[in-house]
């Protein structure tokens, strides 16, 4: 059998593909972080990141994964014994819950099954029964399921109850509309390896005045993630110098495209992916799918783990399997960040080959055609 050229296609929801120009920025000479030259670079990176967050609030670049920014939110908003509400519909809602417990919070969880979502009305009812809660932790896009939630609605409800709202936008930022200031979000956290089109290693956290004031009052022990230190000096510890070069380059690309155009691009790719799923007579998993990724139920009689491993190891197409209780039951195709419509077509071509190989008959080209028809309809 002829040996074919192998190319790699990264369609997992993090890390996501990195544009060559952004990658090359990381190869620039490392300079000292306590110099006017680096301060200028960092200031530009922060201002560009604020544009993506749609905020004028303080925003901090942290040398960590996105989970570090989540820990910063919890450590600075909750004292031991204080009641916190967590909205959990998947693995990353569960992470909020674990972090709150680590810091000794009295945690009340609105829990639903993976793939489901929580409405603003349900949060309202829950806060009526938990009126002492001072903070709500929510997720814009639950990466484990592709479910997106009504964060703007959550913010309105939290304010009625005089509770702060902290939102994990780690995968949702860039792909989903998110307006931190207009929606009145108190804390927003995100990470570099998603929609920002960067390697892993940077996290971001924006705090408004209410949240910074709460951080002054909280009694939880903090050091590396003490937001009071970042408020005094945006680089209280050694920053990830070369990643911040890349951050500046990435946000320049995003600003040039325009945030509303970026949201629209992700919406088109998400719908094209769903059309491809429908064309293969497969079933979506999420009850409220968003623009970050598409979670698909594994067909009966098919090994979900093999779908992912064969696509990756033999065809060079990396998608993601299920997490937590959904391991082996779903697979996830990302359309986040530096992804084109042709990348999605390649993913469906590989998926069709693997499904047929695993005994689930699908017509050649049906999924790819479903994707292409929608892209053509949208003029893409």
The C-alpha atoms of residue 133 and residue 86 are separated, in whole angstroms, by 10
Q: What's residue 34's pLDDT?
A: 96
Cα 284 to Cα 23, 127, 223, 275, 335: the distances in Å are 34, 31, 43, 10, 15
Task: Select the more confidently predicted residue: 4 or 142.
Answer: 142
- pLDDT tens digit string along 327-338? 999 999 999 999
Percent of the chain whose predicted confidence (pLDDT) is above 70: 99
Q: What's this model's pTM, rounded to 2 decimal places?
A: 0.96
- pLDDT tens digit string along 222-267? 999 999 999 999 999 999 999 999 999 999 999 999 999 999 999 9
- pLDDT tens digit string along 147-176? 999 999 999 999 999 999 999 999 999 999
Residue 4 confidence (pLDDT) above 80:
no
- pLDDT tens digit string along 306-359? 999 999 999 999 999 999 889 999 999 999 999 999 999 999 999 999 999 999
Listed in sequence order, the residues at least 6 apart from 3 whose beta carbon sits closer than 8 Å to its beta carbon are none
Count other Cβ atoms within 10 Å, centred on residue 56.
11
Confidence class for position 1, pLDDT limits 50, 70, 90: low
Report all structural domains of the chain as residue ranges with CATH numbers, in order of start.
9-16+259-377 (3.90.1150.10), 20-257 (3.40.640.10)
The C-alpha atoms of residue 213 and residue 198 are separated, in whole angstroms, by 32
User: Is the Cβ–Cβ distance between 292 and 170 less than 8 Å?
Assistant: no
Q: What's residue 344's pLDDT?
A: 98
Residue 273 confidence (pLDDT) above 70:
yes
Residue 380 confidence (pLDDT) above 80:
no
- Mean pLDDT over 211-218 rounds to 98
The C-alpha atoms of residue 138 and residue 155 are separated, in whole angstroms, by 10
- pLDDT tens digit string along 12-49? 999 999 999 999 999 999 999 999 999 999 999 999 99
Tell me, letter by letter, the H, E, C secondary structure of the chain.
Answer: CCCCCCCCEECCCCCCCCCHHHHHHCCCCCCCCCCHHHHHHHHHHHHHHHHHHCCCCEEEEEECCHHHHHHHHHHHHCCCCCEEEEEECCHHHHHHHHHHHHCCCEEEEEECCCCCCCCHHHHHHHHHHCCCCCEEEEECEECCCCEECCHHHHHHHHHHCCCEEEEECCCCECCECCCCCCCCCCEEEEECCCCCCCCCCEEEEEECHHHHHHHHHCCCCCCCCCHHHHHHCCCCCCCCHHHHHHHHHHHHHHHHHCHHHHHHHHHHHHHHHHHHHHHCCCCECCCCECCCEEEEECCCCCCHHHHHHHHHHHHCEECEECCHHHCCCEEEEECCCCCCHHHHHHHHHHHHHHHHHCCCCCCCCHHHHHHHHHHHHCCC
């Amino acid at each position: 059998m002829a040996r074919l050229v192998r190319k790699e296609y990264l369609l997992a929801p993090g890390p996501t593909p990195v544009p060559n120009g952004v990658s090359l920025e990381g190869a620039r000479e490392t300079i000292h972080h306590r110099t006017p030259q680096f301060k200028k670079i960092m200031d530009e990176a922060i201002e560009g990141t604020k544009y993506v967050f749609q905020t004028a609030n303080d925003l901090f670049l942290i040398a960590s994964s996105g989970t570090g920014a989540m820990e910063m939110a919890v450590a600075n908003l909750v004292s031991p014994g204080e009641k916190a509400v967590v909205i959990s519909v998947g693995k990353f809602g569960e992470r909020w819950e674990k972090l709150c417990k680590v810091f000794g919070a009295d945690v009340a969880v609105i829990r639903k099954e993976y793939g489901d979502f929580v409405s603003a009305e349900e949060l309202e009812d829950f806060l009526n029964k938990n009126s002492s809660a001072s903070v709500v932790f929510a997720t814009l896009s639950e990466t484990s399921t592709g479910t997106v939630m009504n964060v703007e609605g959550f913010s309105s409800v939290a304010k009625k109850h005089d509770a702060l709202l902290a939102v994990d936008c780690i995968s949702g930022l860039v792909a989903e509309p998110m307006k931190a200031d207009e929606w009145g979000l108190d804390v927003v956290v995100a990470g570099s390896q998603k929609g920002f089109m960067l390697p892993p290693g940077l996290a971001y956290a924006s705090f408004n005045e209410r949240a910074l004031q709460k951080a002054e009052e909280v009694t939880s022990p903090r050091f590396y993630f003490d937001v009071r230190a970042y408020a005094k000096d945006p680089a209280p510890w050694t920053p990830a110098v070369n990643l911040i070069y890349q951050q500046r380059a990435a946000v320049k690309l995003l600003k040039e495209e325009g945030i509303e155009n970026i949201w629209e691009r992700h919406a088109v790719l998400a719908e094209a992916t769903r059309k491809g799923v429908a064309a293969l007579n497969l079933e979506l998993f999420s009850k409220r799918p968003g623009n970050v990724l598409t979670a698909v139920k594994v067909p009966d009689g098919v090994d979900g783990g093999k779908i992912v491993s064969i696509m990756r190891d033999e065809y060079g197409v990396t998608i993601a399997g299920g997490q937590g209780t959904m391991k082996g039951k779903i697979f996830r195709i990302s359309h986040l960040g530096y992804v084109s419509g042709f990348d999605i077509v390649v993913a469906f071509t590989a998926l069709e080959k693997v499904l047929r190989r695993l005994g689930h008959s699908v017509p050649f080209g049906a999924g790819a055609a479903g994707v292409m028809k929608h892209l053509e309809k949208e003029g893409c």
